[in-house]
Structure 1
């Protein structure tokens, strides 16, 4: 086997011919975007679109400066620093073929815990037009039930005491915007790329709530000079595993310490509301619209909720990856019926979108055996995901006396999931910010089943809705007495 070539700027010219590398001069790239949260999704999505714009059109004024806010980000910081910001994107097609492309759009990276002032100054630099975010659903620090900013969070308390040594995105943004105001600079766009309904609105609310208490004199300036476009983002991007690194070395002779693997499908629908201009991402496939809501609803309630359906059912059964669960005929029939009968009726007008084709494509994407999206990734932080992906469908259906049987069943499966063992007796960790409360409520539900729905930050007053509570209790009783596949078969037969 040929020796794999270490990925860095110096070695780009030596890469094999089957690896696409940047043809543009990275030394001429001008940074105008700061991105907070350089994980796999950012690198398969926004950074990919930006690289395509540079590669295909020679537009070089949209370079990205990545920022790692957390101690956890040290590993990716060290790797990107070692690789001159370069990484390999491996696209795994449905037919098993793979393509490898080196992405060069991240031209700077700052590790915030080592140099918080450098991050603030970078965000406040006049060249920066956009500050984009992938900080996960839980990163916006909003109570899931009330939607209010959580000022009791210890790191928020700390940021308000020590504003020039922030720990949270809100602390950094507040100080950067304060500098822009003091220096008479223009505002910028704060662009959420997270899977959240109204992600721009959520980012705006969280930041304004924080600023109102931490830097109240800054509030009016932000409202007037900063925009928060909503966006729908989509590309299945699993966790990178050791075999991905090994396969890249063997098939493409590239030694990349942290490549990204993803599916071929990609979508980005963005509200065209940018305070200081934006890259022409529409040239490379992004869609700019006046109203993102229909696209958001479609994606969050079908794709993301579909992931949660397969994740919860698959975890209980003992499957390890989403493609395994999606290839299970009983689970796929259940999922298709959930999408057709419970989600589709409440999506509203989707214009020219072929919804049947979109749903069919989702099943195929879930079944991509080459992606191997692990079920623990899908199930982690479910206390932030379920209220966004699944509960809105239940609430909309309840408002019209509609069908909630399958959605309620998934909530019951989530309750059982928090017991921490699958049906084969294998244990797994409950990786969730609310794990203590979830595990306790699930344990109490063995004696008092309704206890799980009494987790107020997640369910609010939904426990008081008799139709939902009854459907949940019936499903949980069934799941406590039978295997999940037997329950699903029964549901499929009864509801057909």
Structure 2
């Protein structure tokens, strides 16, 4: 039986760690971070912590949550704004276990209810960076007024109000403000800048403000890469025993990480992460890097996740260690995904090989359930471009990706319950499905409307352009192909009586 451990706090720190943390708590806020998820905390915040500890950065982060759900915020505040990042995996043949207590936050709050705190940070001349990860669904336009944006707006609207308050308070301050949207959206910097411009019109912003944004707010297209399964729920006690303290905000990640940013390396002087020896790449163009990451790594995740959940798998490493699924993924990569990238990216085979090794990391318990969130929009962004490229080259569909699309439709055969939307796998076990209300309501309606999942059902779902960005039924004989794959899938896993 494990002994009762104290929770992480300043009392758990060594004298040098305590001095470091007190210095951070009293440092000027240089970074405003919107997004308290495991990814940014194990990626960006971990990198800033490294830069501070190496003496290259003197500043702190103000953290807020994009949604009005402040569980993590409350946990961090109860732990003196401290948490632990654990890296597990391999570097070459060497097994890695690295534990870091991260000390980067001087303010942790919920801007949905503490709007004045958010506005106060906008007034700080020390501010250099705004960074976000609000998921793809958060990088969107919602028509709200300036008066209601605090309670009803999405992140782009709130950022616009934040920038307007900064301009109105400090005037035409010439200091550059770097803005990094880390949401996995192509040209995320450009997208956010356009959303801010649209909200500025809505809010009646002055021409002087718009000019200041164009001149001094640098919206940077960027790409983040690190597998972060987050809190190790099943093994947490074993880690706590090893640490000698409890940490309800701890996060697991792999050793590999990459931050590719489209912009001048001169900007590293403002946020000296590359200077601190971290894998940050300032590039003229993100195009090739984006293609590799989204089509191969993210595309593979999105391809295998729905059908793997249907087959009863729980984690990525279980899937890629299964001979049948491993063969399916390898074949899809070699025959469908990599050829679609043509010759635009030179090291695609090497990258694909690295990705499969990262998926197999036995220490990273990457839950399929967490990857399955918003699978419809992920399919649209990560897999459909590959399918279209394959059609252009071959005038037919890529077989394995059609199996993936059929698996996606089967995964979304859902019903509404008190605790959310659920489906049933091939063995009759319940699983939860997480997506936007619009997608969930449409899929539930389709499931109940068509008792038999025939061509009529497939046509109904695939023709909904609000789901896929366009009507997919206009492509070749997609309805017949997907229906055949869907029915074959059900037949293969039909219970034997």
- Superposition TM-score, scaled by structure 1 size: 0.86
Paired with 2:248 and 2:474, the residues of 1 have a C-alpha distance of: 51
Q: What are the residue-to-residue correspondences of 1:70-219 with 2, within 5 Å?
A: 70-72=67-69, 74-94=70-90, 98-141=97-140, 149=141, 151=142, 156-157=143-144, 159-163=145-149, 165=151, 167-182=153-168, 183-184=170-171, 185-186=173-174, 188-217=177-206, 218-219=209-210
Q: Is 1:34 aligned to residue 32 of structure 2?
A: yes
Specify which of 453, 462, 475 is matched with residue 465 of structure 1. 475
- After TM superposition, the structure 1 stretch with the greater mean CA deviation from structure 2, 129-138 or 470-479, is 470-479
* Structure 2 contact 122–165 (Cα < 8 Å) conserved: no
Q: Which stretch of structure 1 is more off in the superposition, 82-91 or 203-212?
A: 203-212
Tell me, in whole angstroms, the C-alpha distance in 2 between the residues paired with 1:424 and 1:21: 52
The gaps in structure 2 that reach 5 residues or longer are 414-422
1:161 to partner: Cα distance: 4.8
Higher relative contact order (CA closer than 8 Å, sequence separation 6+): 1
Match of 1:267? 258
**In the TM superposition, what is the alpha-carbon distance from 1:164 to its structure 2 partner?**
5.5
Shift of 1:423: 0.5
Shift of 1:256: 1.0
Unaligned runs of at least 5 residues, structure 1: 142-148, 485-496
**Aligned mates of 1:277, 1:96 — CA distance in 2:** 33
Matched, 1:43 2:36: no
Choose which of 52, 61, 64 in structure 1 pairs with 2:61.
Answer: 64
CA distance in 1, matches of 2:231, 2:268: 35
Contact 2:89 2:362 in 1 (8 A): no
Native 8 Å contact 1:233 1:267 kept in 2 = yes
Listed one character per residue, the Cα deviations across residues 121-152 of structure 1 (whole Å, up to 9, x for unaligned) are 313422111110100011112xxxxxxx4x4x
**Which residue of 440, 443, 447 maps to 1:438?**
443
The residue correspondences of 1:269-418 to structure 2 (distance < 5 A) are: 269-272=260-263, 278-282=270-274, 283-349=277-343, 354-401=347-394, 404-418=398-412
**1:232·1:296 contact (CA, 8 Å) conserved in 2?**
yes
Question: What's the RMSD between the two structures over aligned residues?
Answer: 2.7
Question: What count of residue pairs does the alignment treat as equivalent?
Answer: 465
SS at match of 2:14: helix
| 1:2 and 1:253 in contact (8 A); partners too | no
Give the superposition deviation at 1:354. 3.2
Specify whether residues 22 and 68 from structure 1 end up closer, same or farther in structure 2 by C-alpha distance, changes over 3 A only: farther
Question: What SS does the aligned partner of 1:125 have?
Answer: coil
Q: What is the distance in 2 between the residues matched to 1:21 and 1:87? A: 14
Question: In 2, Cα distance between the equivalents of 1:399 and 1:362?
Answer: 26
Deviation per CA, 1:363-401, whole angstroms, max 9, x where unpaired? Answer: 122122221111111111112311111112112222333
The aligned counterpart of 2:462 is: 453
Measured against aligned partners, the alpha-carbon deviations of 1:318-372 in whole angstroms (never above 9, x if no partner) come to 1111111111111111111212222212325566x63322212211221222211
Q: Deviations over 1:37-73 (max 9, x none)?
A: 1110011101111111111x3023342111123221x
Tell me by how many angstroms 1:284 deviates: 1.7
TM-score (norm 2): 0.86
